[in-house]
């Protein structure tokens, strides 16, 4: 298991390119199962999550080729049984369910376990598929789905106690594109990654309107064809490096972004006193403000403040003068990072799903352990200005969703080394 050795106190300056979105790539790769024709998908980040998805597509019978960021998939002859030993490694594998049901009217996918950020139910996914005619059985930890009478479009409301479901919306959309009639998803997730999936499906010949809003209309078609598609930039990767710029800049430039996907993060960093500018439409420039101050954040479904940026903001607020209050409404248990940061001297109190952070002068290095993808990225951010040299173990959590994070930070002047153990 690799670890990172990070020497704090080095100012970050320079420019890096933001990679394609992991969370857009995963459902788009799965959606390639909906046609037997050749599909080319560009700007797929080389991270373990996308590589797991490619392995699952291969195990389902698809032909998969990858050369750097470009993936070619031909799913001419596929079967509906997703392999447990691969699916259990990544919860997002659940998004092969929709395309398998949509094309084969069958799917067998293991029920994803929970994970460290909290319970990860799929009741809304199953509700959506059942509403358009799927029969669902649970047996031996597997979800068995058939649709003997085919799939018929309907209006479906997809919202749980914590708001809409991103992958649940994706699964229903992918099952509905070949269904008879029209499906309307009310209370759909409006994330840019859902819109990107809809754009990809439309490039394959689907008829989807309204993606990116909470009401999506899918008119079923007979067949889908191949296409050549480029995935949107990763807004959470960009947000993570924006926080790095606020914590340890100098001046950090992030190229190939979609600033319009980051409005809430840009506004929050400005409210906290930092400088964020947009250059030439797709470059975000961040530098620390002269008088940074604490802020209050509540995570919400898009376009609200993203839960995937919550841990990174805790790392910033740990050394921001004043009090910051962070309320997590999507995954209430998503505060693993606080206990590790307190080992570095952060001052935070957690009650229920709200963290209160009192900024300290400086954190100090300590051996810390990565736990989940975004919590681990937050520990790396905290280490950038901590006094001394921090060791972050289990960085495979970070490699799941950040393409070459050590190399990108080195390019900005950070002293970070990957040690293979
Ligand atoms: C996606 O997960 C993202 N993952 C997550 O990013 C992100 O945190 C999350 O959306 C919220 O934005 C991918 O896109 C691969 P949800 P998803 O279904 O779709 C509850 C990262 O760090 N819920 O939108 O699995 C659920 O428990 C990852 O990149 C149900 O109750 O999340 C949660 O409280 C982490 N029943 C809320 O809804 C269901 O059937 C939102 O979950 C489904 C979800």
Q: How do residues 273-321 score in pLDDT, each as one tens digit?
A: 999 999 999 999 999 999 999 999 999 999 999 999 999 999 999 999 9
* Cβ 234 vs Cβ 265: under 8 Å: no
Domain ranges of the chain: 2-16+234-420, 24-230
**Higher-pLDDT residue of 118, 334:** 334
Q: Which atom of ligand 1 lies at the shortest distance from residue 307's CA?
A: 8
Cβ-based neighbours of 378, under 8 Å, separated by 6 or more: 311, 312, 314, 315, 337, 341
Return the exposure string of 209-245: e unless at least 16 CB atoms fall within 10 Å of the residue's CB, then b: ebbbebebbbbbeeebebbebebbbbbbbbbbbbbbb
Q: Phi then psi for 31, rounded to 5 degrees? A: -65, -20
**Burial of 48: CB neighbours in 10 Å, binned 0-12, 13-18, 19+:** middle
Q: Which residues line ligand 1 (CB under 6 A)?
A: 23, 26, 92, 119-125, 160, 162-163, 165-168, 189, 193, 307-308, 330-331, 373-374, 401
Residue nearest to atom 9 of ligand 1 (CA): 166
Q: Which of 27, 114, 120, 169 to mutate for ligand 1's pocket (most ligand atoms within 8 Å of CB)?
A: 120
Q: What is the pLDDT of residues 197-247, one digit of tens each?
A: 999 999 999 999 999 999 999 999 999 999 999 999 999 999 999 999 999
- Equal fold, 2-16+234-420 vs 24-230: yes
By mean pLDDT, which of 116-130, 255-269, 363-377, 391-405 is the weakest? 116-130
Res 114 pLDDT > 70: no
Q: How far is the CA of 361 from the centre of ligand 1 (A)?
A: 35
Structure tokens at 1: 């298991």
Residue nearest to atom 20 of ligand 1 (CA): 162
Cβ-based neighbours of 22, under 8 Å, separated by 6 or more: 45, 47, 49, 50, 234, 236, 237, 400, 401
Res 106 pLDDT > 70: yes
Measured CA to CA in angstroms, residue 374 lies from 66, 117, 381 at distances of 26, 10, 11
Candidates 3.65.10.10, 2.40.10.10, 3.90.1170.50, 1.20.120.1200; CATH matching 24-230: 3.65.10.10
Question: What is the pLDDT at residue 113?
Answer: 66
115 is annotated as an active-site residue: yes
Q: What is the pLDDT of residues 311-347, one digit of tens each?
A: 999 999 999 999 999 999 999 999 999 999 999 999 9
Percentage, residues of the chain above pLDDT 70? 99
Residue nearest to atom 35 of ligand 1 (CA): 308
Q: Which atom of ligand 1 lies at the shortest distance from residue 302's CA?
A: 12
Query: How far is the C-alpha of 379 from the C-alpha of 164, rounded, in Å?
Result: 29
Candidates 3.40.1010.10, 3.65.10.10, 3.30.310.80, 3.30.200.20; CATH matching 2-16+234-420: 3.65.10.10
Mean per-residue pLDDT of the chain: 96
Residue nearest to atom 16 of ligand 1 (CA): 165
Structure tokens at 379: 């520990």
Q: Of 95, 115, 227, 314, which residue is the catalytic one?
A: 115
Q: Which of 168, 192, 311, 376 to mutate for ligand 1's pocket (most ligand atoms within 8 Å of CB)?
A: 168
Question: What is the pLDDT at residue 112?
Answer: 80
Q: How far is the CA of 116 from the centre of ligand 1 (A)?
A: 13
* Cβ 333 vs Cβ 120: under 8 Å: no
């Amino acid at each position: 298991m690799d670890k990172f050795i990070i020497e704090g106190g080095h100012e970050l300056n320079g420019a890096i390119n933001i990679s394609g979105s992991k969370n857009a790539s995963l459902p788009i790769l799965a959606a390639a199962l909906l046609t037997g024709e050749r599909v080319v998908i560009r700007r797929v980040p080389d991270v373990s999550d996308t590589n797991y998805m490619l392995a699952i597509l291969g195990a389902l019978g698809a032909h998969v080729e990858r050369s750097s960021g470009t993936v070619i998939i031909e799913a001419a002859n596929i079967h509906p049984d997703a392999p447990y030993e691969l699916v259990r490694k990544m919860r997002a594998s659940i998004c092969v369910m929709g395309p398998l049901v949509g094309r084969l009217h069958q799917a067998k996918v293991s029920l994803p376990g929970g994970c460290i950020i909290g319970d990860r139910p799929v009741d809304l996914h199953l509700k959506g598929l059942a509403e358009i005619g799927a029969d669902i059985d649970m047996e031996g930890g597997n979800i068995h789905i058939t649709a003997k009478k085919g799939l018929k479009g309907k209006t479906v409301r997809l919202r749980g106690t914590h708001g809409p479901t991103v992958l649940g919306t994706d699964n229903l959309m992918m099952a509905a594109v070949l269904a008879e009639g029209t499906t309307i998803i009310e209370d759909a997730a409006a994330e840019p990654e859902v819109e990107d999936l809809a754009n990809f499906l439309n490039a394959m010949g689907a008829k989807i309107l309204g993606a990116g809003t909470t009401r999506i209309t899918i008119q079923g078609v007979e067949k889908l064809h191949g296409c050549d598609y480029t995935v949107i930039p990763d807004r959470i990767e960009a947000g993570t490096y924006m926080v790095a710029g606020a914590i340890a800049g100098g001046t950090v430039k992030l190229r190939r972004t979609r600033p319009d996907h980051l409005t809430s993060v840009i506004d929050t960093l400005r409210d906290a006193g930092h400088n964020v500018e947009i250059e030439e439409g797709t470059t975000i420039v961040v530098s620390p403000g002269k008088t940074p101050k604490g802020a209050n954040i509540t995570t919400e479904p898009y376009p609200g403040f993203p839960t995937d940026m919550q841990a990174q903001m805790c790392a910033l607020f740990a050394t921001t003068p004043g009090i910051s209050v962070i309320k997590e409404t999507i995954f209430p248990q998503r505060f693993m990072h606080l206990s590790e940061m307190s080992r570095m001297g952060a001052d935070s109190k957690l009650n229920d799903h709200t963290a209160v952070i009192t900024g300290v002068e400086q954190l100090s290095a300590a051996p810390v352990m990565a736990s989940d993808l975004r919590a681990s990225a937050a520990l790396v951010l905290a280490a950038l200005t901590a006094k001394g040299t921090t060791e972050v173990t289990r960085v495979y959590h970070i490699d799941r969703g950040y393409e070459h994070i050590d190399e990108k930070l080195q390019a900005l002047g950070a002293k970070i080394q990957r040690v293979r153990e």
